[in-house]
Structure 1
Amino acid sequence: MTAWATYEGEQKAARQKLANQQAAQQGRPYTAGIRPFGYADDHMTIMAQEAAAIVEGAQMILAGESLSAVARKWTEAKLLSPRSKAAGAQAWTLRGVKKVLTSPRYIGQSTYHGEVMGEGQWPPILDPEIHYGVVAILNNPERFSGGKRTGRTPDNLLSGIGLCGYDGCTDTVGGRGYRGVSVYGCTATHTRTPRSIADDRASKATLARLVFPDFLGQILEDQNAQDGASGAHLQSQTQELRQRLDGLALAYAEGSISLSQMTAGSAALQKKLEAIESEMVSSAGIPPLDPVKGVAGLIQGWPTLPLPTRRAWVDFCVIVTLKPANGRHMSSMSVDDHVTIEWRNVSE
């Protein structure tokens, strides 16, 4: 009787697995569990507020922001996942955010044990090129976020960009604290420049360089525009797409994604890349610039731009050098004592 009961249990489990696999192949949602974030209890109807958060989270990752930034934003908006609520959690985890943003479910694909089985019967929330771009970034083994293998995403304006002004020092500066003040300093601590002073000076110098007649105007004069998009903007898009394609290949090599995910993702990104390259005529390789709002929009919206975009423009426009105190008290130093700015030439 025990052997027969065991046999019946195994047969029932096998039939259930086969039924689940067939359902996935037919694109029907698996409705036995807790509803997924972004969809209602039927696993088909889109929850507008949660879907908007997913789209915003994906755009944040593409803009260079971290998983922790997305987790904070979703938590502050009180948009916890149904599974987290059931478990009594109070905030999103990085693992939870990554699982949402890399799930093929949100581009309308049905999966079974991680393998894409076909098109789902539910409406997608993300566009394929956005989804696969996020997958490439988050699963790239070269992505760093805090340890030996992960590194740390810069959380301030000048880390890795500002130069130490001490004679003979070739280091760039990083963020740290000194006596309760947030400062920049090289690894040898030759300088302790307050971040507020350095960031304000670098931002103003960057914006001044942008509006000076001999700089961006001359660069953009050589750009051919089609359908309202500048050549520089298109070039930036192609570079991002190529990086995402490389990221997908590396993620597959590391075993972070399946072959079907890499194949589908590469096809979607390659199609987008070909479309952009067909439009692109020339490019100067400038950082992202809204082709409609232009420089005026960049300047007006500077305080609210994503940090990676501001960092790219600072590095593109100016050379920032932070000078040592040389025995002087911080309070007695002027802005020019702290920071030296050099404008980059058009030829550079």
Structure 2
Amino acid sequence: MRCYGYDETGRQIIDAEATVIREVVKRVLDGDSMRSVVADLRAREVATSAGRPWTQQSLSRLLRNPRLAGLKTYLGEVVGDAPWPAIIDRDTHQQLLALLDAPERKQPHATNQRKYLLSGGFLVCGYPLPDETGTGTNIDGKPLYTQPSNSGKRGYVCRAGSPSYGCGRIRIAAESLEEEVAARALARLASPKIRARLERAVGSAKDGAATMERVLQAIDDRLAEAGQAYARREISLVTLTAIEAEAKREQKQVRERIAQAARLQALPATTPEGLSEWWVDAPLERRRELLALVLDRIIVKPATRAGASQLDLDRLEFVWK
């Protein structure tokens, strides 16, 4: 799918769309909210390059795009000047990034989320549940969510209510668990065998980066074609929804491979001492990225002793990549 503001080749500016971009940029830098800008674009029936109404997310992605400033990227990083003309200058691009990434624009829950190393699917519930036959057991398998205790201590829980509707019976303290997971993950990353496997993966990731970008482009094109077909009433809403669901699944897989390549290439020193020193000062998101290289998930089983003050390692089942 083409970038808004440029033609299908990506080399020529579409003047009408460039005018919209410059208008939006000025309004955002002048203090207008993304919500109000999007509402105005929708009211004026200004559509995206795919013919869809703008959202705050799609507009934010566009405004962050280095392409608008005449910059080319590789794996999400700016690597130099681009052969196409810029729609906005680089100073304006930097002002936009600084504004859009300002801490005060972040959602409140995002700040809380970053306090937890293992949020986002690393932990799953291991509470035993009867299987379909009634003769054995399965684990609950629902993701654990972050939730402080009544005393304010950080923890992870299996929620009985929305959004997961889990068992509601699993809780584990965050601090000691995160220390244990970090120690095991760092030791694993320092292993020559694991390091050799990761280095082979780096080479494969580099070789396949261009292919993955083309795959993403093909998926975007397929989505755009489906949207246009639906607009022409050539396919039903059910068919469009199915196409979009499959495309999103494929996009997620490809983007994870691209992200994996970037994480692999950013690996720090691999001795136990070097990794430990890096870990102490690394931002939480970088720690999580490093962890994702080797850890698939941890199954947390029920506590065997109520009120235990120390981490019970028997509760943990590590599933490594």
TM bin, normalised by shorter chain, reads: 0.3 to 0.5
Give the structure-2-normalised TM-score.
0.45
Question: With CA pairs under 8 Å and 6+ residues apart, which has the higher RCO, 1 or 2?
Answer: 1
Give the structure-1-normalised TM-score.
0.43
| Larger Cα-atom Rg | 1
